[in-house]
Amino acid sequence: MSELLIVFVKNPELGKVKTRLAKEIGDKEALAVYQKLLQITIEAAKGCRADVRFYFSNSIDENIWPGDQSKIQSGVDLGEKMKNAFQDGFSAGFERIVIIGSDLPDISAKLIDKSFQSLSLMDTVIGPASDGGYYLLGIKKMITELFENVNWSTREVLETTLERLTKKKESYFLLETKNDIDTMEDLLNP
């Protein structure tokens, strides 16, 4: 069964990454934190068993990931960008697709592979984030409701997602809750 890991990344540019964190520690330090998180994400992606595609925010950066396995995010908000990336993957013939961002210090190839194993038994797999969102989402078929009319970057993202899955009678598996890095508090309490 063909599996695809989608990695959403922001191009590492001063003043354009970890903006909430930058308000507390400055743009240079926030960029340094992001570059470290990005490196952790790259290592995890390299070690997982699935095919991998990086989706960049602005432009493909071959120094981060080879261009033939990279795309640029398309859409007006995070939901539409994720929906479009999943649709790309399903259109390319992938049967199980997992998406992650690049702000989780605890991401690993083992955790990614576990998410794909969970998808062999369930319709959906979710990695809950301690801030009320999620750090990982995996699906076996397109569920457009997961991406539409969601208040992204709020404490209600995970709850909304679970309610929609329950309403559609889609089974799901929850991975361990992890802390993604958005603020100074997240950085101090990983």
Q: Where are the domains of the chain?
A: 3-188
**How far is residue 179's CA from residue 190's CA, in Å, rounded to a whole number?**
6
Report, as an integer, the average pLDDT of 58-75. Answer: 92
- pLDDT value at position 190? 65
What percent of the chain lies above the pLDDT cut of 70? 99
Q: Which CATH number is correct for 3-188, 1.10.357.10, 3.90.1200.10, 3.90.550.10, 3.90.650.10?
A: 3.90.550.10
H or E element: which one contains 52?
strand 51-56
pLDDT tens, position by position, 35-52: 999 999 999 999 999 999
pLDDT at 57 over 70: yes
Cβ proximity of 81 and 58 under 8 Å: no
